[in-house]
C-alpha cells in the first residue's frame, strides 16, 4: 500500500530495531542524530486521530523502551519525539520519531519568526472545541 506498509510487511528492507504484532520500529535513513528511530503502526493511516488506542499505547511503550536504550548505549540523558500528521504526514503513513539528544548536538526547533497569539481567548477557543 505504501513504503512503510512494505517495511512493516518485510517487503522492503529496513534496519528494524524492535517489532511486535502491531508496530515496527526501524532506523530513520535521514537521522537527526545517530539512533533516530521511526515507530510505525502495522496499519495504514496518516493521522493520530484515526489511530486505534491499542496501537497508540504500543507506540508510546515502544518509545519508552527506545529512550531507555539510548541511555544504555549512548549515555544520552535527553531525547526528542516528534509526529507530523494529516497533510503533513510524510509518506502518508503514521510514524513517530524518537531520537537521542546530546549537549550541543545542533538540533533545534525552527519555525518562522512573527507574532503568534498566546492569550486566554486562544485557550478558551481550544477548551470549547476539545471533546
> Considering only 14-22, 39-47, 81-89, 114-122, which stretch makes contact with Zn ion by CB under 5 A?
39-47
Check residue 5 for interaction with Zn ion (CB under 5 A). Answer: yes
Check residue 42 for interaction with Zn ion (CB under 5 A). Answer: no
Site for Zn ion in 79-98 (CB under 5 A): 93
Applying CB under 5 A, what is the total number of residues that bind Zn ion? 6
User: What's the Rg (C-alpha) of the chain?
Assistant: 17
Exposure of 55 in the CB half-sphere (CA atoms within 13 A)? 20
Closest CB to Zn ion among 1 and 123? 1
Minimum gap (Å) between residue 90 Cβ and Zn ion? 12
Check residue 4 for interaction with Zn ion (CB under 5 A). Answer: yes
Check residue 44 for interaction with Zn ion (CB under 5 A). Answer: yes
The residues carrying an active-site annotation are 95
DSSP per residue over 33-80, as a string? STT-EEEEESS--S-GGGS-HHHHHHHHHHHHHHHHHHHHHH---EEE
Check residue 101 for interaction with Zn ion (CB under 5 A). Answer: no
The C-alpha atoms of residue 50 and residue 120 are separated, in whole angstroms, by 29
Binding site for Zn ion (CB under 5 A): 1-2, 4-5, 44, 93
Amino acid at each position: 500500500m505504501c513504503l512503510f506498509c512494505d517495511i512493516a510487511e518485510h517487503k522492503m528492507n529496513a534496519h528494524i530495531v524492535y517489532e511486535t504484532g502491531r508496530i515496527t520500529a526501524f532506523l530513520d535513513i535521514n537521522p537527526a542524530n545517530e539512533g533516530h528511530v521511526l515507530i510505525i503502526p502495522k496499519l495504514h493511516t496518516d493521522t493520530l486521530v484515526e489511530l486505534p488506542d491499542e496501537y497508540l499505547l504500543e507506540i508510546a511503550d515502544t518509545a519508552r523502551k527506545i529512550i531507555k536504550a539510548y541511555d544504555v548505549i549512548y549515555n544520552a540523558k535527553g531525547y526528542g519525539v516528534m509526529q507530523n500528521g494529516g497533510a503533513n504526514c510524510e509518506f502518508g503513513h503514521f510514524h513517530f520519531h524518537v531520537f537521542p539528544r546530546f549537549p550541543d548536538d545542533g538540533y533545534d526547533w525552527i519555525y518562522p519568526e512573527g507574532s503568534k497569539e498566546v492569550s486566554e481567548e486562544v485557550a478558551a477557543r481550544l477548551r470549547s472545541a476539545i471533546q
